[in-house]
Chain A
Amino acid sequence: MNDTNVRQRKTAYNPIGFVLMQVLNACTKVGQMILGFFAGVGKLSLFTARGIKSCFTPPFYARHIGRQLVDIGYYSLPVVGLTALFTGMVLALQSYTGFARFNAESAIANVVVLSITRELAPVLAGLMVAGRIGASIAAEIATMRVTEQIDALVTLSTNPFKYLIAPRLIAGTLMLPVLVLIADIIGVMGGYAVSVYSLGFLPESYLRQTWDFLQFIDVFSGLVKAAVFGFIVTLMGCYYGYYSGRGAQGVGSATINAVVSSSILILVFNYVLTQVFFS
């Protein structure tokens, strides 16, 4: 730091040299950023590979997997359920305003069920879980890193990948599809409630329209997305927690990074998976 300051002050008397120096400095910065990016990608890939491998090799910590299943699945239910409920309701309301203009109100049931199962339930559940679970995983593991509990695990002959990371990856990947299936049902019921009680639809015909148009692939693609998002959220939480910087600040930035990166990755992978399934 000091060195470059001194160097800059000396060259400041020579305008060309000064500009050249600034340009070179900028190039160095860009170069460092690019190198840093690829180093990060490599580190994350290695981490992912080790994480997946430890999910399939003993020892398995059944008690930890159980606890994570409950943490991630059961305790996320209220948040995910409420999100799905209001999303289904608002979908019915909005599409009614649109479709009434074309006298196409009968399409509302389809719009609701397709949007919910294919897109909204997995993406919104993924994002909610990223905020709830991703943040808590990152904070917990980062705290363990900062207070040397992860080092302590190693000295007690326990592989932190198997003890800490695999249970979370397994639970996230298994539980998010379950959550999304429940969210699918709640979301459709939300749309149904608004359509029947406030927009004056007939209950049987709404349900029939919902059911007739729904295909296996709609629900299935949503559940596959959910599994991928569950993996992404827990992976990013574990990754940023595991490589947390030192001190409280390290824990804070681990949490932020986990939530931001998993949210963005969810949106990116949502597009990729949609492309894979429906084109």
Chain B
Amino acid sequence: MIANTKIGKDGAQAKLVLDNVHKSFGQHHVLDGIDLSVPKGKSLVVIGGSGSGKSVMLKCALGLMQPDSGHVRVDGVDTTEYDTEQRNELMKKFGMLFQGGALFDSLPIWENVAFGLLQNTDISKKDARDVAIDKLRAVGLGSKIADQFPAELSGGMQKRVSLARAIASDPEIIFFDEPTTGLDPIMADVINDLIIKCREDLGATTLSITHDMASARKIADNIAMLYRGKIIWHGKAGEIENSNNNYVDQFVHGRADGPIKMDVA
């Protein structure tokens, strides 16, 4: 069942590759040999149960966490051992939406969104603010919140601000950690459209994590499933209904009984 876990052997085309990545916390082996590859300009969605290590996988790909072993390659270059300076440079290619938003609560909304621009380019404050307001509009937020602080917004609004920040500097690779969690179904679909638009307009490569199958079906070119620290299935988005994999079936149809056992008392 756990066979052929490499997605797309076309290494030259791959924008982002995770090669046999392991990560443990003490005795807890969270990632147990992850192999993934995201082709340039494509969207890969990783699904998997809560606590299966999806966020840890993203952080290893970004370099926020150092994998215990294995390699991460961006544009074919091994970035696993990058130092702080190199990492800073590399991050200019990346955008990341954190699961919890991770907005800077000491800065107003517009400075949050324009943070990367203000730090890394010579853009004037006024222009940066205009860009920020544009991006806020793209995620369905009005300009009147621009001068408010993150704590004054609802959870869903914070998530959208965070999304605006992730795409503000038009990155080449965007990571989305549960972009639609905590949003109403209509707003979730707006966000799905936005993610698709990022890919189509900017040519961005995206790696997303979600529990939301509707979102996964909509935004994914490819889908992979993470279970017990390994990628147990991958395929084209259209194949997920006929995966012939009991684990994937159970997850896709949200059934409590099946091969995946939740650790509940």
Which A residues are within 8 Å of any B CB, using their own CB?
Answer: 144, 147-149, 151-159
Contacts and interface: CB of A to CB of B under 8 A. Distances in A.
15 contacts: A144-B104, A148-B99, A148-B100, A149-B103, A151-B64, A151-B98, A151-B102, A154-B87, A154-B91, A155-B91, A155-B95, A156-B91, A156-B119, A157-B88, A157-B89
Interface string B14-46: 000000000000000000000000000000000
A155 to B, nearest CB: 4
A9 B84 CA distance: 50
B16 to A, nearest CB: 14
Contacts of A148: 98-100, 102
Contact of B119 (A144, A151, A158): A158
B73 interface: no
Counting chain B CB atoms within 10 Å of each CB, the highest count among A148, A156, A157, A158 belongs to A156
Contacts, number: 50
Nearest to B62: A155
B96 interface: yes
A152 to B, nearest CB: 4
Contacts of B84: 159
B88 A155 contact: no
Interface in B86-111: 87-89, 91-92, 94-96, 98-105
Nearest to A156: B116
Given A158-B119, A159-B84, A152 B96 contact: yes
A151 B87 contact: no
B109 to A, nearest CB: 14
Nearest to B65: A151
A144 B84 CA distance: 19
A155 B96 contact: yes
Contact of A152 (B87, B89, B102, B120): B102
Nearest to B93: A157
Contact of B115 (A144, A147, A156): A156
Contacts of B89: 157
A147 B64 contact: no
B94 A155 contact: yes
B59 interface: yes
A244 to B, nearest CB: 15
A155 B119 CA distance: 12
Contacts of B102: 147-149, 151-152
Contacts of B105: 147, 149
B124 to A, nearest CB: 16
Contacts of A155: 62, 64, 91, 94-96
Contacts of B64: 151, 154-155
A102 B84 CA distance: 65
Contacts of A154: 64, 87, 91
B120 A157 contact: yes
Contacts of B96: 152, 155
Nearest to B162: A152
A113 to B, nearest CB: 42
B104 A157 contact: no
Contacts of B88: 157-159
Contacts of A157: 88-89, 91-92, 116, 119-120
Nearest to A67: B106
Given A154-B87, A156-B116, A157-B119, 20 more contacts: A144-B104, A148-B98, A148-B99, A148-B100, A148-B102, A149-B103, A149-B104, A149-B105, A151-B59, A151-B64, A151-B102, A152-B103, A156-B91, A156-B115, A156-B120, A157-B88, A157-B120, A158-B88, A159-B84, A159-B88
Nearest to A154: B64
A158 B107 CA distance: 15
A149 B162 CA distance: 11
B120 to A, nearest CB: 5
A144 B101 CA distance: 12
A144 B91 CA distance: 19
B62 A152 contact: no
Contacts of B119: 156-158
Q: Give the one of B95, B102, B105, B165 with max A CB within 10 A.
A: B102
A61 B104 CA distance: 16
A111 B95 CA distance: 62
